Copies of this chain bind each other. A is one copy, B any other.
Amino acid sequence: MNGNQSGSARTPAEARRAPLGTKADRETVRRHNLSLVLRAVHDQVEATRAGVAARVGLTRAAVSSLVEQLLESGFLSESGKTFSGQAGRPGTVLKIARTGVAGIGVEINVDYVSVCVVDLAGTDRVRLVEHLDNRGAAPAEVFGRAARIAARALGSAAEQELWPVGAELALPGLVSGGSVLQAPNLGWTAVPAEAPFERALAALRPEEPALPVRSENEANLAALAELWFGGLGDVRSFLYLTGEIGVGGALVLGGELLRGANGFAGEIGHVSVSDDGPRCRCGSRGCLEQYAGQSALLRAAGLDELSGASGVAELERRAREGDSAALAALAGAGRALGRALSGAVNLFDPDAVVLGGIYRPLLPWLAPPVGAELETRVVSGLWPAAGSRVRASSPAADAARGAAALVVQDVLTDPVAYAPRAAH
């Protein structure tokens, strides 16, 4: 499910080695072309057969045949006649189906579970969030809770005639091979995730076929959501930071998520800001999280570090009123963020830095010190106007939606693999 998101999955050099147009199996070509046509309609929101043909470089006849198959399988719908805006006779408007095949994303974080169901267009159709404390709970209990929330969301989805074909877990830690290798803020080490969640969900839905489950780091999925649904415009390369109990990070370059050799890239929360700084749960010292994580920030402002979302809201209120402890805490966190980000910008050369999670409401106070550090420390000299390059994340783009949309990406890549046996 994640393979096609990875920068390292298949290098251009390898792709180049694949022979072209020789033994290419007709069936493979047709499956590929079905994906082309489906994506073309998906990307254009509304399309005509002629428009799709022009866009993908296939003949009008070939496109019509492919569209017919996609309509029959319920991936597309069509409505009325319209003028295409181009010269020529009117065509039927093709749209991506708003019912049928869908994806579900399940974000399990330290103090909440958020579940999102999206349709083939990536639209957020069902959302269920529960604020609860997953610290100290056994992993089996956490997956049980998450499965119950997911099952309720699937119930709502069914009422909208949406049938997720896979589930993606968004997890706050190092995720690899279906397990959480390390999630310091949950206190988890080497905890299997996909299998227990799949079993827990299957047990709640004994009449349904088990939903295949995949998993990924939550910041990576939030970054993909930002890429696909955020307001980044032409920006295709960015650093993504999300402030939670921990500080998550992800890197997107040229529209591709950088996952690293083992899937652990983006751990900016554990970049060292100060050599002799406070000890971190990860075993190191002076990690960014110890300066700009939610707990550190609340503590520095004189608030209860365990007060969660209400504490962050209180911090924002105090900052707005000019409370000096709140302002000093935000200035300190901003400098630490700016230092860690400067190093990351020197290493990555992104077009923008996107701040999400608790940093979104706090950006008015964080942006000036972050910008000042970037201006001084980024060697390319490209960040003097850091103001326009340091952005708040989009509220419509979060890890749960990114997770759900990743399921849908798989469908768009090979719709035949997900075509329903019989129409619902």
Interface residues of A (CB under 8 A from B): 4, 6-13, 15-24, 29, 32-33, 35-36, 39-40, 56-59, 62, 174, 181-182, 184, 236-237, 249, 251, 253-256, 258-275, 282-285, 339-340, 342-344, 346-351, 376-382, 413
Contacts and interface: CB of A to CB of B under 8 A. Distances in A.
B272 A8 contact: no
Nearest to A251: B347
Contacts of A256: 7-8, 11-13
A184 B380 CA distance: 11
Given A22-B58, A22-B62, A56-B17, A272 B377 contact: yes
Nearest to A259: B349
Given A8-B254, A12-B256, A268-B346, 15 more contacts: A4-B13, A9-B254, A11-B254, A19-B56, A20-B20, A22-B57, A182-B379, A182-B381, A253-B261, A259-B349, A260-B350, A267-B380, A272-B339, A274-B275, A340-B343
Copies in the assembly, this chain: 2
Contacts of A62: 22
A255 B13 CA distance: 9
A16 B29 contact: no
A414 to B, nearest CB: 10
B343 A272 contact: yes
19 contacts: A13-B255, A13-B256, A16-B35, A16-B413, A17-B39, A19-B58, A174-B380, A184-B379, A236-B261, A253-B258, A259-B349, A265-B349, A267-B346, A267-B347, A268-B346, A271-B342, A272-B342, A272-B377, A285-B376
A379 B36 CA distance: 40
B7 A254 contact: yes
Contacts of A13: 4, 255-256
A142 to B, nearest CB: 21
A132 B59 CA distance: 62
Contacts of A272: 339, 342-343, 377
A424 B374 CA distance: 54
A181 B380 contact: yes
A278 B16 CA distance: 48
Contact of A237 (B8, B17, B21, B378): B8
Contacts of A348: 258, 260, 265, 347
Nearest to A28: B20
Contacts of A283: 376
Contact of A8 (B59, B253, B343): B253
A173 to B, nearest CB: 9
A7 to B, nearest CB: 6
A20 B8 contact: no
Contacts of A339: 272, 275
Contacts of A251: 347
A261 B284 contact: no
Contacts of A6: 254
Q: 4 smallest A-B Cβ distances: which pairs?
A: A8-B254, A260-B349, A237-B261, A270-B379
A343 B249 CA distance: 12
A357 to B, nearest CB: 18
A243 to B, nearest CB: 17
Most central of A19, A263, A285, A413 by chain B CB within 10 Å: A19
A10 B174 CA distance: 28
Contacts of A378: 270
Contacts of A184: 379
B20 A29 contact: yes
